[in-house]
C-alpha cells in the first residue's frame, strides 16, 4: 500500500512536469503500461493473502484511475499549447513584400504610349471612345467617301472576312459610328488596333492608331493646327513646331499631312558633330499623321443627327500609336513591339 502511494506521488509529479505530448506517452507506458508496477500489482492481486486483496485492489484501481485522468488532462493541455505554438510560428505576415519582391512588371510600351496620348487629348477636352476591330465595309470605306473601286479596297491592303466585313484598316470608321449616336458638338479620340496586309521593319499586319474627331460650329484648319501643336509639344517637348503639307484622303477636304520639327536635331537636319540626322533624313521634319477637315460627303451619312455642312464643320486626324512610341523611344524596328522579347520590353 505504501509502494502504491509512493508510486502515485512519483507519477503525479512526473506527469505534472512533462513538457511534451511525446513525454507524456512515455510516462503512460511507464506507469500504466503492461509491464508497469501498477498493472503487475493488479494482475498479482490473486496471490495476495485474502484480507489484503480488497484494500490493495481498491487502492491500485484508484491510483490507475487518478493517473489516467491526470494523463488525459495534461495531454490535452500540452497538445493545445503545441498547436498554439505551431500557429504562432506559422503565422504569415501579409504586409511583407511578395516573393520574389522586385520585378512586378510594367505596362507594354504601346499601352504606356496610348495612355500618354489619351491623357493629352483628355486635357484638351476630348473623350476617349473605342470601336469594333471587325468592321463592316460600310463604315470602314463607304461612309468615309471611299467609292467601291477605290484602290484602298484592294485585297493586298485589306483583310476581308466576308464580302462586306473586314478587319478595320484604320480607326476612321469610328467617325461615322460616333456621329450616328451623338449630335454635334463632338470631340473624341479613338485608340485601337487596326489591320493591313503589310509586313516589314516599319509595317506589321496589326498596328495601333489613334483617331481624332472634332465637329462643332466654326471649327477651322487653325483649330486642327493648334490642337496638333499642343499634342506635339506635350509629347515631344515644348520647343516643337508643326508643319502642314497638303495631302489626300477621301474623307477629308482639304487634307493635310502633319510633320513635327525633329526633336533629334532640333529641326536643323544636322547633328552637333555636323553629320546629317538620320531620324529626319536631314529634313528637320518628321511626319506623324494624316488629317484634314471632315468632308461634307461624310456628314451626308449622319445628317439626321444634325450634321449639316452648312451649319457645322470639323477636323479629323489619325496617327500611329506605335510610330509615336518608336519615334519617342528610338525603337528602330516596329516588329520588336510585338515579338514579346523580354529583353526589349524591359527597357521601357
* Touching ligand PHE, residues 200-259 (CB under 6 A): 211, 249, 252
Residue 207, C-beta contacts closer than 8 angstroms, at least 6 positions apart:
193, 194, 196, 320, 321, 322, 323, 334
Shortest distance (Å) from residue 171 CB to ligand PHE: 7
Residue closest to ligand PHE, measured at CB: 318
Which residues have a Cβ under 8 Å from the Cβ of 186 and sit 6 or more positions away?
178, 179, 213, 214, 215, 216, 314
| Stretch of 8-16, 287-295, 300-308, 328-336 contacting ligand PHE, by CB under 6 A | 287-295
- In the complex with ligand PHE, the residue whose CB is nearer, 67 or 214, is 214
Q: What's the closest the beta carbon of residue 131 comes to ligand PHE, in angstroms? A: 13
**CA proximity to 314, closest of 214, 178, 197:** 214
CB nearer to ligand PHE: pick between 12 and 287:
287
Nearer to ligand PHE, 170 or 177 (CB): 170
Which residue do the cell numbers 519615334 mark? 327
- Give the whole-angstrom CA distance, residue 265 versus residue 275: 10
Beta carbon nearer to ligand PHE, 7 or 194: 194
Pick 184 or 290: Cβ nearer ligand PHE:
290
Stretch that binds ligand PHE, among 117-125, 159-167, 310-318, 331-339 (CB under 6 A): 310-318
Q: 230 vs 253, which CB is nearer to ligand PHE?
A: 253
Q: How many residues bind ligand PHE (CB under 6 A)?
A: 11
C-alpha span between 7 and 18 (Å, rounded): 16
Burial zone of 290 (CB within 10 Å; 0-12 exposed, 13-18 middle, 19+ buried): buried
Q: Which of 292, 302, 307, 312 binds ligand PHE (CB under 6 A)?
A: 292
Please tell me the distance from the alpha carbon of residue 39 to that of residue 188, in angstroms, as a whole number: 94
- Single out the residue of 291, 324, 331, 337 in contact with ligand PHE (rule: CB under 6 A): 291
Q: At 244, is the secondary structure helix, strand, or coil? A: strand
Give 274-282 contacts, CB < 8 A, sequence gap 24+: 279/327
Other CB atoms within 10 A of residue 174 CB: 25
Within a 10 A sphere around the Cβ of 201, how many other Cβ atoms? 10
Q: Does 290 participate in binding ligand PHE (rule CB under 6 A)?
A: yes
Q: How far is Cα 218 from Cα 202, in angstroms, rounded to an integer?
A: 37
Phi, psi of 68 (to 5 degrees): -60, -45
Nearer to ligand PHE, 191 or 318 (CB): 318
Residue 80 backbone dihedrals phi, psi, to 5 degrees? -60, -45
Residue 176: closest CA among 320, 244, 76, 168: 168
x/- track of binding to ligand PHE for residues 152-191 (CB under 6 A): ------------------x-x-------------------
Per-residue interface string for the shown chain with ligand PHE, residues 312-341, x marking contact by CB under 6 A = ----xxx-----------------------
Smallest distance, ligand PHE to C-beta of residue 200, A: 17
| Residues listed for the chain | 348
| Site for ligand PHE, residues 58 to 97, rule: CB under 6 A | none
Q: Considering only the stretches 2-10, 13-21, 285-293, 334-342, report the one whose residues sit in contact with ligand PHE under the rule CB under 6 A.
A: 285-293
Minimum distance, C-beta of residue 238 to ligand PHE, in the bound complex (Å) = 26
Give yes or no for residue 196 binding ligand PHE (CB under 6 A): no
Q: By CB under 6 A, name the binding residues for ligand PHE.
A: 170, 172, 211, 249, 252, 290-292, 316-318
Amino acid at each position: 500500500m505504501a509502494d502504491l502511494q509512493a508510486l502515485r506521488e512519483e507519477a503525479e509529479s512526473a506527469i505534472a512536469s512533462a513538457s511534451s505530448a511525446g513525454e507524456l506517452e512515455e510516462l503512460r507506458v511507464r506507469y500504466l503500461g503492461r509491464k508497469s508496477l501498477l498493472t503487475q500489482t493488479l494482475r498479482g492481486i490473486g496471490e495476495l493473502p485474502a484480507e489484503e486483496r480488497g484494500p490493495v485492489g481498491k487502492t491500485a484501481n484508484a491510483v490507475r484511475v487518478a493517473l489516467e485522468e491526470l494523463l488525459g488532462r495534461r495531454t490535452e493541455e500540452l497538445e493545445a499549447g503545441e498547436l498554439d505554438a505551431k500557429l504562432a510560428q506559422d503565422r504569415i505576415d501579409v504586409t511583407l513584400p511578395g516573393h520574389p519582391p522586385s520585378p512586378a512588371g510594367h505596362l507594354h510600351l504601346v499601352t504606356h504610349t496610348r495612355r500618354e496620348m489619351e491623357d493629352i487629348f483628355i486635357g484638351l477636352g476630348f473623350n476617349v471612345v473605342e470601336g469594333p476591330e471587325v468592321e463592316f465595309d460600310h463604315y470602314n470605306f463607304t461612309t468615309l467617301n471611299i467609292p467601291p473601286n477605290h484602290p484602298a479596297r484592294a485585297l493586298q491592303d485589306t483583310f476581308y472576312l466576308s464580302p462586306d466585313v473586314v478587319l478595320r484598316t484604320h480607326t476612321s470608321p469610328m467617325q461615322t459610328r460616333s456621329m450616328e449616336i451623338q449630335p454635334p458638338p463632338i470631340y473624341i479620340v479613338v485608340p485601337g488596333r487596326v489591320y493591313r496586309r503589310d509586313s516589314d521593319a516599319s509595317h506589321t499586319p496589326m498596328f495601333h492608331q489613334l483617331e481624332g474627331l472634332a465637329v462643332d460650329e466654326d471649327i477651322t484648319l487653325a483649330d486642327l493646327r493648334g490642337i496638333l501643336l499642343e499634342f506635339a509639344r506635350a509629347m515631344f517637348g515644348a520647343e516643337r513646331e508643326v508643319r502642314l503639307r497638303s495631302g489626300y484622303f477621301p474623307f477629308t477636304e482639304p487634307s493635310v499631312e502633319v510633320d513635327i520639327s525633329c526633336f533629334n536635331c532640333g529641326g536643323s537636319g544636322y547633328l552637333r558633330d555636323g553629320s546629317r540626322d538620320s531620324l529626319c533624313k536631314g529634313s528637320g521634319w518628321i511626319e506623324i499623321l494624316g488629317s484634314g477637315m471632315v468632308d461634307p460627303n461624310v456628314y451626308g451619312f449622319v445628317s439626321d443627327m444634325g450634321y449639316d455642312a452648312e451649319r457645322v464643320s470639323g477636323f479629323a486626324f489619325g496617327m500611329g500609336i506605335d510610330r509615336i512610341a518608336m519615334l519617342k523611344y528610338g525603337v528602330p524596328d516596329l516588329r520588336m513591339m510585338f515579338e514579346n522579347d523580354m529583353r526589349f520590353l524591359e527597357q521601357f
